[in-house]
Structure 1
Amino acid sequence: MSTPTLGIIANPVSARDIRRVVAHAGNLQISERVNIVIRVLQAARAAGVQRVLLMPDRSGIRALLDRHLKRGDTELPELELLDMEPTSTVEDTFAATRLLQRAGVAAIIVLGGDGTHRAVVRELVAGADATLSALPIAGLSTGTNNAFPEMREPTITGLAAGLYAMGRLDAGEALLPNKLIEVSILNGAGAPRRDIAIVDAVVTQDRTVGARALWKPQSLAAAYFAFAEPEAIGLSSIGGLLQPVGRRDPGGLSVQLATDARHALLHLNAPIAPGLVRPVAVASWQRMVADEPQAVSAEAGSVALDGERELTFDPGERVTMTLREDAFHTLDVKRCMAAAARDGLLTTRIPNP
């Protein structure tokens, strides 16, 4: 029998985009990221996990962890670095996800923002088969605009993931299905370009990717949301303040944005980044039905996936957005811990003398 194993992908450079400058948001230092990883490891070990695979990096997480491990902490599981050469790009996340899949980990704990989680999910979906498609992620928020990962104490996430990895929680109760937006760009010659967003895919009139991070509403043409919650920060707040759609609700939401006041139905003050509440001109909005592609009307521009511009398209190319339901799984930490309390999974009975 193989040893129950968890995977950890900790992005050392999440929350370093331009929004941190223009929005006066905080910046999570490497030392605090290491502290988060250590708390996850300690909790996973308390739940019984003896082996964890970690993505290596060049930014200091590995070095500080090594320093801690040399102190002889006996409350940590065996920690192994994945056999890969880090490049300090998103390719590290893609490669680490593939390696964790092949290693047969029970779950992947992700430290990062929406972009990091999207990168993990993109690789899971791309490589999914009947076995791999059920591999869940447990997200911890360390990015700028965090609509997808939870703001939760890492110790609790580590406990929940550890109990699941040890087989003490049933998948039907511990896991939740999630939606995503599939982006397709077809130019009539060859296979279409495809990508995904786990929160929002936003079309802009910008013809270049530039600094990637999207924080100015003036160039927005349309937005497509897998879910949109009114308390969210980021571009998904546009949909959340118009017509909220929950993570577990069927369907999504598409919003057409106006380029001038004559075509605007209303102006919405949306918190598009920490500290930035900006007016957005809205022309119309409608629900998205699963598996029904919606054509993008803009003739050319770029597509931002979960807040970062990733794709460009030219005149003559056809862009469609399609909502996919039950696309990947996440660990429901709250429900996991409720089951642990109900079934006494963290309780040891003291025998009568």
Structure 2
Amino acid sequence: MRIHKMTAALIALGLVATGATACADESGGANGTLKIGLLASLSGTYQAIGTDIRDGFQLYLSMHGGELGGHPVELVVADEGDGAPTAVPAATKLVKQDKVIALTGVVGGGSAAAIQPVLAQAKVPFIGSNGRPELKDITHVWHTSYLSQETGAAIAQYVKDNVKGKVFAIGPDYQGGWDQLQGFTDAFAKAGGQLANADGKTLFTPFPATKNFTPYFAQIKAAGAEAVYTFYAGAAAIDFVKQYSQSEVKDLPLYAAGFLTEGGVLNAQGDAARNVFSVLNYSPDLDNAQNREFVAAWKADHDGPPTTYAMASFDAAAVLDKAIGAAGENPTSESINNAIAGLGQIESPRGAWQFSKKTHSPVQKWYLRQVRPDGRALSNTVVGDLATVGE
């Protein structure tokens, strides 16, 4: 993997973990800095997503002189891998050995749930930047992205209004897939929609083992569906979309959580992704000042436009910037967490949002996108607003 100019600059500033660190002071930092932990999938199925999460946070730091809330920051990066078995020991090291004052990132919903006992015991605030399942204790848990069920819930009414018949629901068999599809199917049923699935339940495919989706497309055909709703991300999204476009159900409208065509997977899917409809809380073509600045800064160091993963991690840094600044001269994990609770509206590339006091996740607008030509390339183009979800 090549080192981006931004990453190289951050290494020079001491913001990227490179091994041993200097002695720590009372605030948990090295040489007077604050240590922030970033845990993301830098290997495995969701490596591309984890890389965007890391780069989004680092971009905010590079645009703010390596400081958050007026304090120099040392960013300690760890690999989440493919889920809880690797995420838990990595998070444990960040908290107990590296003594980070706050933790951000995390791709998988299962990972987010599994690391909570470690964080709760240490009372370290977690500012997650990807989806998460419902958790019992969110005292020290915040998310700048969404709750995993909200994505499908935001598009369910639109699908019901625009599909004259039954819809087939399919997704990966793990926590993220369960949450994403349940959000859609529950809201779809509430809107009066019917699933084409034989048993009225989502068809879940083995994760991460499924590479060949052809047998499942045959089931969709046999069910007499008029459209398909799905959630896949990363490598599985590439396989699903390419095979869908060559299958016997290729003419059925395909609706999806936006991760199906987000970021580099769209480039890999190519023309197979044309016309796919998706729902997401962000698109790089949103017209606001914060987004224009964010997109320009991202493109200066990356080949393609920013993703929702990068945006949510950028916003996680913005949240910490505001909270640390409000936490006094000697911020602690607890004072930062208390400050996050008192934050108001966050100006963001996605549009302004704020934390729900009930869920500690964003109250935000969701957008309907369609894969359309943009010059010689394909892009996710916003074609309408959907629901505001989160409260």
If the TM-score is normalised by the length of the shorter chain, which range does it land in? Answer: 0.3 to 0.5
Structure with the largest fraction of strand: 1
Compute the TM-score of the two structures, normalised by the length of structure 2: 0.30
Structure with the largest fraction of helix: 2
Compute the TM-score of the two structures, normalised by the length of structure 1: 0.32
Greater relative contact order structure (CA < 8 Å, 6+ sep): 1
